[in-house]
């Protein structure tokens, strides 16, 4: 049985992306200190942007605004995906160290895509 969404906190997309933030912070904490203001900062901001935009969009009164912020969250997810790849390419972490975060990220993207598609159908797009 599905329960009604009473808050953005009830959204699986928000819940999973919040978990992803923790995983990204753990991952980037092990990066070299010299990257603290480089890729570490970018990755942490991209990760935080995902649940933040889901919450902000939920708080908007119009479906089109909500969709706009969900699309921004999706864009941040793809940005983070690229940054995870770059972190390995640049040797900032061991090969395969990003796999857990990458797997979590793929789930977030999948759930976001579903939420966006559902809202687009309801909006008649």
Q: Is residue 64's pLDDT more than 80?
A: yes
Summarize the confidence of residues 77-88 as an average pLDDT.
97
**Half-sphere exposure in the Cβ direction for 96 (13 Å, CA):** 0
Give 70's pLDDT tier (boundaries 50, 70, 90). very high
Residue 32: its pLDDT value, please? Answer: 92
Q: List, for residues 27-50, the tens digit of each pLDDT value.
A: 999 999 988 889 999 999 999 999
Residue 125: its pLDDT value, please? Answer: 63
Residue 123: its pLDDT value, please? Answer: 87
Residue 51: its pLDDT value, please? Answer: 98
Which of helix, strand or coil describes residue 3? coil
Q: What is the DSSP string of 16-75?
A: HHHHHHHHHHHHHHTS-GGGTTTHHHHHHHHHHHHHHHHHHHHTSSSHHHHHHHHHHHHH
Residue 26: its pLDDT value, please? Answer: 97
| Residue percentage of the chain with pLDDT more than 90 | 84
Give residue limits of the domains in the chain. 8-123
CATH class as words, domain 8-123:
mainly alpha
Summarize the confidence of residues 97-122 as an average pLDDT.
96
């Amino acid at each position: 049985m599905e329960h009604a969404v009473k808050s953005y906190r009830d959204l699986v997309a928000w819940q999973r992306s919040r978990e992803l933030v923790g995983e990204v912070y753990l991952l980037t904490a092990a990066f070299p200190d010299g990257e603290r203001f480089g890729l570490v900062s970018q990755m942490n901001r991209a990760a935080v942007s995902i649940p933040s935009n889901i919450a902000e969009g939920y708080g908007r009164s119009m479906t089109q605004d909500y969709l706009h912020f969900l699309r921004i969250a999706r864009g941040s997810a793809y940005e983070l995906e690229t940054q995870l790849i770059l972190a390995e390419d640049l040797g900032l972490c061991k090969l395969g160290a990003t796999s857990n975060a990458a797997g979590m990220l793929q789930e977030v993207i999948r759930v976001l895509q579903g939420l966006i598609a559902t809202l687009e159908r309801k909006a008649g797009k």
